[in-house]
């Protein structure tokens, strides 16, 4: 049965309007100010935003690589497609194992040396050249490993291992230097580059400078870099907030919000890791024995809407762009990220009048904790459609059948994120 979602505030990357969306099968058949179709179900979405389903470009493979994975949590949070790291060189094993979930899935391959976990500049140039040949961006997380390893060694030699030293071990200048070097190499190789997990004002300066020179650079951050600060490394259970790069200052948070509003940041991903509270605090006060990474796949969209749209830091259109439109273009998901005829019917409803307090007990993530415990949210995802299947209705899962599919990159897709 076809469905018309009526009276919603339909919001894409470029504009918003009050109107209707017709879903037929797995696709959007029409979207406009007044859509009529006979023999359809009708859902009145008055007062709610209708956004493209969220696309998360940065999810750790541990979140999706088991039958009991976090894809249901992603769906509850309004994410309908993710990209995850796959260590299998062919990708076939990952495709079989990781698509048994509730969201669609794309994969990208990690490149690192077995001895150090890093690649050198020659490796990077070679990879960038190959990416340029294939018309795909080189995706990277940037920190100068020589600096961070050296500082870690110095701190441990001085017996300074409490969580409070983490920002000093992985300083903003180490991130900025690595961003500058990556952009220099990518420029020489003629490759587009996507810098993920940007955490500092210094790194943003490097990205903006490269763009002004005409280089094709995408950049993304995460909710924790927008909302949380390094003060948490001095509080209780500080190891819960160990992440690379580390949390920064309030000044950095504010700079990233401005960059997001102005279009200097293109995406907001979760960088979700399925680490439990026990995993994180098992090291006690020794931050060098702590697992880096935090859960966030379920709270990503709600946090960005509440802290961004509802506090007038970003517009609803920017919300749609950084959570769906531009991520779809970067990932090469040609049928996702936009609300227009012919696209996959991946859409979500957000109720701006709904309120809640974040609690680990209410979430569906396997981690059992959240770094945002106790935060108040204004605006919630109430309904989620994945390729036309109404899987979340009024916050309740209506179909327990995993419908995730593997999505191959459409290398020919251009950036249509303004639709």
Strands 347-357 and 376-386: antiparallel
pLDDT at 110: 65
Apex CA 335: angle with CA 332 and CA 337, to 5°? 80
User: Can you give the residue ranges of every domain in the chain?
Assistant: 54-332+353-376
pLDDT at 108: 79
List the structure tokens of 102: 């509730």
Buried b (16+ CB within 10 A) or exposed e, 236-262: eebbbbbbbbbbbeeebbebbbebbbe
How many other C-beta atoms are found inside a 10 Å radius of the C-beta of residue 394?
9
CA distance 20 to 52: 14
In CATH, what number does 54-332+353-376 get?
Answer: 3.20.20.140
Q: Which residue has the higher pLDDT, 350 or 123?
A: 350
The overall average pLDDT reported for the chain is 91
pLDDT at 1: 74
- How much of the chain exceeds pLDDT 70, in percent? 91
CA distance 191 to 206: 17
Q: Which residue has the higher pLDDT, 361 or 136?
A: 361
List the structure tokens of 303: 């946090």
> What confidence tens digit (pLDDT) does each residue in 28-65 have?
999 999 998 888 999 999 999 999 999 999 998 777 77
Provide the CA 309 distance to its chain's centre, in angstroms: 17
CA distance 365 to 174: 32
3-class DSSP state for residue 377?
Answer: strand
The model carries a pTM of 0.93
Whose tokens are 């894409």? That residue is: 12
The number of CA neighbours under 13 Å toward the Cβ of 166 is 30
> What confidence tens digit (pLDDT) does each residue in 176-215 have?
999 999 999 999 999 999 999 999 999 999 999 999 999 9
> What confidence tens digit (pLDDT) does each residue in 238-296 have?
999 999 999 999 999 999 999 999 999 999 999 999 888 988 888 778 999 989 999 99
């Amino acid at each position: 049965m076809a469905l018309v979602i009526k009276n919603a505030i339909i919001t894409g990357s470029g504009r918003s309007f009050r109107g209707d969306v017709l879903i037929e099968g797995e696709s959007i058949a029409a979207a406009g100010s007044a859509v009529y179709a006979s023999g359809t179900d009708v859902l009145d979405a008055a007062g709610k935003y209708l956004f493209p389903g969220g696309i998360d470009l940065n999810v750790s493979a541990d979140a999706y690589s088991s039958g009991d994975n976090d894809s249901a949590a992603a769906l509850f949070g309004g994410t309908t497609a993710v990209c995850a790291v796959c260590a299998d060189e062919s990708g076939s094993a990952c495709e079989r194992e990781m698509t048994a979930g509730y969201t669609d899935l794309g994969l990208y391959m990690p490149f690192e040396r077995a001895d150090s976990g890093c690649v050198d500049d020659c490796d990077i140039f070679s990879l960038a050249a190959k990416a340029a040949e294939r018309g795909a961006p080189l995706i990277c997380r940037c920190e100068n490993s020589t600096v961070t390893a050296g500082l870690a060694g110095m701190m441990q030699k001085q017996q300074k291992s409490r969580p409070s030293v983490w920002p000093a071990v992985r300083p903003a200048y180490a991130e900025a230097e690595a961003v500058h070097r990556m952009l220099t190499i990518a420029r020489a190789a003629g490759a587009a580059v996507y810098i993920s997990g940007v955490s500092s004002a210094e790194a943003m300066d490097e990205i903006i400078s490269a763009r002004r020179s005409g280089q094709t650079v995408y950049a993304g951050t995460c909710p924790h870099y927008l909302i949380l600060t390094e003060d948490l490394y001095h509080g209780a259970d500080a190891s819960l907030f160990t992440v690379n790069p580390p949390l920064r200052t309030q000044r950095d948070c504010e700079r990233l919000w401005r960059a997001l509003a102005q279009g200097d940041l293109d995406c907001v991903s979760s960088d979700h890791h399925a680490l439990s509270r026990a995993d994180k605090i098992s090291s006690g006060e020794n931050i060098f024995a702590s697992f880096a990474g935090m859960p966030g796949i379920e709270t990503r969209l709600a946090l960005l809407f509440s802290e961004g749209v509802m506090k007038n830091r970003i517009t609803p259109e920017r919300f749609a762009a950084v959570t769906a439109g531009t991520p779809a273009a970067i990932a090469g998901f040609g049928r996702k990220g936009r609300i227009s005829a012919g696209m996959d019917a991946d859409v979500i409803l957000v109720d701006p009048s709904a309120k809640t307090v974040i609690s680990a007990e209410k979430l569906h993530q396997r981690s059992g904790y959240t770094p945002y415990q106790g935060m108040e949210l204004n605006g919630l995802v109430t309904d989620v459609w994945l390729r036309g299947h109404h899987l979340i209705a009024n916050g309740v899962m209506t179909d327990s059948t995993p419908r995730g599919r593997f999505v191959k990159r459409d290398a020919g897709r251009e950036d249509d994120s303004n639709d």
